[in-house]
Chains A and B, each alone.
Chain A
């Protein structure tokens, strides 16, 4: 395993600039997830680390080598692709041993490494099958087997779970995490699924339009998003943003007349965007909190997702209780001021 360092990495296609100077230090053995909406440049960045896309400018180091001009095969990386990219005409065994074979490894060494990887991933009974004869989850495992068999310095994953159904995705997520805990190989993982990012990463890199918005541990991003983009991207369902004016009594007066509390530590004045996560709202008794007009109720059994408006602004609440409320009725909610976030309404940047 090796650290990966990106220094002012840029990528342009002619006049179209897609990556605008990314700086990132990935420590040895770290599991870093690049996350962001489609077109944010996360896959391009990963492909530049892999050597599949040339770097327009900047410096990329893997270990202590600058690898900008090295071919993928010389970077000592292994990559798992979104569609697995298994060679359809080769058996699982041949797929897994293919890179070793082309690097001149002996037959005994190939067999040993393939067996080792097959053991870890539970692929032993499938070694003589072809990819076409495997299920999605099995193919995913073979793709991982092909990556680990060579014991590379860095693993690169490009949305590897996006073709799996929801249940299998959860299972593979756990397996990937266990694999990383066992091998401790530096990993860069691309996904657009923030749940994947939150559950797997040591650190998350949130990207938008070719720039890094925030880098941090999953819970840091959840607790202290630097702007409304990160705040809305991390966390599901998305954070509520309410426009209002900060008042002198440690509160925010909303446009519709409601008044929301602020923690004492936050000293703001003027126009603000008040952020509160749906799961940080709770049912309130008479005389406390504020009232919303309910527009949708989605009970899931374990919780109830309520959508509504507060002074004309949209608001959603994720409640632990089963709520017997109908469309068009009013519902009284409260919140703990310590969970509130304040953002500048113009720039979207965090205040305080």
Chain B
């Protein structure tokens, strides 16, 4: 039931929400405004919420000091492949664990889940040695393969499995009577209905890959292969001190796809939920 609030209560609620939003909005605001401030203005006290002067040359500097466009592309295509790969692997694995009865299914699933308990810092050295043996150091393969077959995919598989478990069995039975085989049931019935879960998987997988920091600094050595989180740390002066305004300009550019993915996937999320009218 929808609760109706009085106008006064509404004002109070919105006011409270605005106050609560400050800790979340302020860092983004500070990042965007500081990216166009001259360096001395960033540390001015009292701080300037609105820049007194604008210096957009920081954005040009971002591209001049490093192959930033290349690094941007690196992050984008790696995140895209990881996201699509994880969606494929986790949806199929999640479906199998949820809907196909096979001996040891629960045991295997528990073993898979154990992958979530091992911190990535623990496995990074053996992984480094493995990829070194395979000749994949300073390539993007480790950044693609580790998430698709590692902890993020395990978590995604868990999410998908939980969704498919809740899917009414009658839908699959109806599809069997309608003449569909197992894969077609998965592809034409189960997967389209899993859009909300897939959207959630896509959001966190993309963000995880986009923000990946430890693996790139371990596996990548040349700047043209760097991904964005790693590249951001390279905007330093001769004394290794951060060039704050340039770094924040690069950070602003880095945050844009994250916002776009979130806004796009959020819509998918709501759409998906609206169509899950499974109840009779």
Q: Which residues on A are within 8 Å of B, measured CB to CB?
A: 50-52, 71-73, 77-79, 81-89, 98-99, 102-103, 130-133, 136, 139, 146, 163
Known contacts A130-B277, A131-B277, A77 near B177 by CB under 8 Å: yes
B178 partner residues in chain A, CB cutoff 8 A: 73, 98-99, 102, 146
Asked if A79 and B177 make an inter-chain contact with CB atoms under 8 angstroms apart, the answer reads: yes
With the chains together, A51 CA to B177 CA distance in Å?
A: 8
Known contacts A83-B168, A83-B170, A50 near B277 by CB under 8 Å: no
Contact residues of B between 140 and 174, Cβ < 8 Å to A? 168, 170-171, 173-174
Asked if A85 and B171 make an inter-chain contact with CB atoms under 8 angstroms apart, the answer reads: yes
B193 partner residues in chain A, CB cutoff 8 A: 88-89
> 0/1 per residue, B246-280, Cβ < 8 Å to A?
00000000000000000000000000001111111
Closest B residue to A147 using CB positions: B177
Contact residue range for chain B? 20 to 34
With the chains together, A314 CA to B175 CA distance in Å?
A: 50
Closest B residue to A156 using CB positions: B177
B179 within 8 A of A: yes
Neighbour of A81 across the interface among B170, B277, B279, CB < 8 A: B170
With the chains together, A133 CA to B275 CA distance in Å?
A: 10
Known contacts A89-B193, A98-B178, A102-B180, A81 near B275 by CB under 8 Å: no
| Min distance, Cβ A309 to any Cβ of chain B, angstroms | 42
| Min distance, Cβ A202 to any Cβ of chain B, angstroms | 24
Asked if B176 and A81 make an inter-chain contact with CB atoms under 8 angstroms apart, the answer reads: no
With the chains together, A51 CA to B173 CA distance in Å?
A: 10
With the chains together, A81 CA to B169 CA distance in Å?
A: 11
B274 partner residues in chain A, CB cutoff 8 A: 132
Asked if B275 and A99 make an inter-chain contact with CB atoms under 8 angstroms apart, the answer reads: no
Known contacts A82-B170, A132-B277, A87 near B177 by CB under 8 Å: no
Q: Which residues on B are within 8 Å of A, measured CB to CB?
A: 168, 170-171, 173-180, 184, 189, 192-193, 274-280
A85 partner residues in chain B, CB cutoff 8 A: 168, 170-171, 173-174
With the chains together, A173 CA to B44 CA distance in Å?
A: 80
Asked if B177 and A83 make an inter-chain contact with CB atoms under 8 angstroms apart, the answer reads: no
14 contacts between A and B (CB under 8 A): A50-B173, A51-B177, A73-B177, A78-B177, A81-B174, A82-B280, A83-B170, A85-B170, A85-B173, A88-B276, A89-B192, A132-B277, A133-B277, A139-B280
Closest B residue to A139 using CB positions: B280
B280 partner residues in chain A, CB cutoff 8 A: 82-84, 136, 139, 163
With the chains together, A135 CA to B173 CA distance in Å?
A: 22
Known contacts A85-B168, A85-B171, A72 near B277 by CB under 8 Å: no
Known: A51-B176, A87-B174. 15 other contacts (CB 8 A): A50-B177, A72-B173, A73-B180, A81-B170, A85-B171, A86-B174, A88-B193, A88-B276, A88-B277, A88-B278, A89-B192, A103-B179, A130-B275, A131-B277, A139-B280
A136 partner residues in chain B, CB cutoff 8 A: 280
Closest 10 CB pairs of A and B: A132-B277, A73-B179, A99-B178, A85-B174, A85-B170, A83-B280, A163-B280, A81-B170, A102-B179, A72-B177
| Min distance, Cβ A168 to any Cβ of chain B, angstroms | 12
B173 partner residues in chain A, CB cutoff 8 A: 50, 52, 72, 79, 81, 85
B279 partner residues in chain A, CB cutoff 8 A: 83
Asked if B275 and A89 make an inter-chain contact with CB atoms under 8 angstroms apart, the answer reads: yes
| Min distance, Cβ A126 to any Cβ of chain B, angstroms | 14
With the chains together, A87 CA to B275 CA distance in Å?
A: 10
With the chains together, A127 CA to B277 CA distance in Å?
A: 17
B168, B179, B280: most-surrounded residue (chain A CB, <10 A): B280
Asked if B176 and A73 make an inter-chain contact with CB atoms under 8 angstroms apart, the answer reads: yes
| Min distance, Cβ A317 to any Cβ of chain B, angstroms | 38
Known contacts A72-B176, A102-B180, A132-B277, A87 near B170 by CB under 8 Å: no
B176, B177, B178, B279: most-surrounded residue (chain A CB, <10 A): B177
B174 partner residues in chain A, CB cutoff 8 A: 79, 81, 85-87, 146
With the chains together, A81 CA to B168 CA distance in Å?
A: 11
| Min distance, Cβ A248 to any Cβ of chain B, angstroms | 58
Closest B residue to A88 using CB positions: B277
A77, A82, A85: most-surrounded residue (chain B CB, <10 A): A85
Asked if A102 and B184 make an inter-chain contact with CB atoms under 8 angstroms apart, the answer reads: yes
A51 partner residues in chain B, CB cutoff 8 A: 176-177
With the chains together, A98 CA to B192 CA distance in Å?
A: 15
Closest A residue to B180 using CB positions: A102
B189 partner residues in chain A, CB cutoff 8 A: 87
Closest B residue to A164 using CB positions: B280
Closest A residue to B173 using CB positions: A52
With the chains together, A77 CA to B192 CA distance in Å?
A: 26
With the chains together, A77 CA to B173 CA distance in Å?
A: 13
Closest A residue to B277 using CB positions: A132
With the chains together, A82 CA to B171 CA distance in Å?
A: 11
B277 partner residues in chain A, CB cutoff 8 A: 88, 130-133
| Min distance, Cβ A125 to any Cβ of chain B, angstroms | 19
With the chains together, A71 CA to B275 CA distance in Å?
A: 30
With the chains together, A71 CA to B181 CA distance in Å?
A: 10
With the chains together, A135 CA to B276 CA distance in Å?
A: 15
With the chains together, A72 CA to B170 CA distance in Å?
A: 13
| Min distance, Cβ A192 to any Cβ of chain B, angstroms | 16
| Min distance, Cβ A327 to any Cβ of chain B, angstroms | 41
Asked if B192 and A71 make an inter-chain contact with CB atoms under 8 angstroms apart, the answer reads: no
Closest A residue to B170 using CB positions: A85
